A = this chain, B = another copy of it.
């Protein structure tokens, strides 16, 4: 299978594609039939050649001078990113952050469906958030195995994050979206996606402070 060497997609590309998609969908609604990479780059304020390169990973083909067929490009990005198939996930930790994810309707359009949430707080158990039931954590193992859940979303307090993650792995969960700031220790074969919001705070404040310093010593 010689010609079948698929280059691994750079993660930055993977993160930019949904932004293109979002704009393309808006353009489609407005009846735009063709769209060029430079046009996208202008709206999203990024480099046009980068847009071309990113798109090339999806396999979409454009025409010089004309650009890409809007409908085809949308379809190419969606199927490349796997938006057409839906993966089911369990969420543990039905606090504010967990509730935010449960209420976030667009998750489904990315191919992620939260089918149940778990907590230990008796007040939360039995509630519904965004049409998702909150169950007692004790039911996690049994349900995860039965439903063959592969994805776990971790929105617990830091203190119990490792413990819950271990539990997820025991249930056969293969990928964990970790929204706690903790660095989880898990078996090699488990996919971990860390999303720690506070590291963004650090970057933001550093930029602001550097700006101030610069303004004082022009």
Contact = CB atoms under 8 A, between A and B. Distances in A.
Interface string A72-116: 000000000110010100000001110111011011001110000
A136 interface: no
Contacts of A181: 18-19, 22, 106
Interface in A188-218: 191, 193, 195, 197-209, 211
B17 A175 contact: no
Contacts of A207: 175, 191, 193
Interface of A: 9, 11, 14-15, 17-19, 22, 43-45, 81-82, 85, 87, 95-97, 99-101, 103-104, 106-107, 110-112, 150-151, 174-175, 177, 179, 181, 183, 185, 191, 193, 195, 197-209, 211
